Amino acid sequence: MARNEEKAMSSLNRWTAQKRDLEKANNLGKSTYVGGALPASATYGPYAAKKRPKIASEVDTVREGEHWRSDIIQGVAQKIKEIQNAALGEHRIRDLNDEINKDLREKKYWEEQIKTLGGPDYVTNGLKESETYGAELASHSGYKYFGAAKDLPGVRELFENTEVPEAPRKTRKQLFKNIQPDYYGWRDEEDGLLILAEQQAEHEAVKREVARWQAEQANRPAKRSKKDAEEAKS
């Protein structure tokens, strides 16, 4: 049974390879290849025969800039996956971590060039999935550690001893710099709605006090006059 499945998979792989080679011959130089089984980085399409320019400003179309940006992202994702393996050895892990940081800086250059050419603003609005896996030291701004690189000798201690710097305290002058007269209520009288609300509240408060006073007077016994008191005594 297993032998039959192996034969079927082998036939499917041969058919897929033939289909891929045929479509490669038909589509090379015309459009981006979208069929068959492709390797990790696309090797077909209008940019198949070109190497990625070292300087992003050499590209003058948004389409090509996005192509090379996607190529960098695919490479970074593959390296982040590889650097998770702590068995690679210290030297290989350090090299991989340096390469990932270098690729992320290059990606930023391509995003700035795409924005300059009128394309999407990846710098501000783009999601940074690959960068979220990295940890950055406060003393080494701009350099991130990925995967097993966080546990390298000397690096782990830096993360353990890292203290979050306290925000600088503001002086009294800085605290009062942006305070407006509204803070002290100096412009409340200029607000017509506020004046109406205050008058209405005052009227209701006076009305409640008058009603309370009238109720007290109604429940209080009537006072006898002085003449009535003398007659009662005699």
pLDDT tens digits for range 188-228: 666 667 778 888 899 999 999 999 888 888 887 766 555 56
Q: CB-based contacts of 155: which residues, under 8 Å, 6+ apart?
A: 145, 149
Task: Please say whether the dihedral angle defined by the alpha carbons of residues 197, 199, 205 and 208, taken in this order, is positive or negative.
Answer: negative
The predicted model scores a pTM of: 0.49
Q: How far apart are CA 29 and CA 19, in angstroms?
A: 17
Nearest to 16 by CA among 32, 40, 39: 39
Range of lowest pLDDT (21-25, 48-52, 65-69, 99-103):
21-25
Q: What is the pLDDT of residue 102?
A: 92
162-188 pLDDT tens trace: 556 667 788 888 877 777 777 777 766
Q: What is the pLDDT of residue 5?
A: 57
- What is the pLDDT of the chain when averaged over all its residues? 75
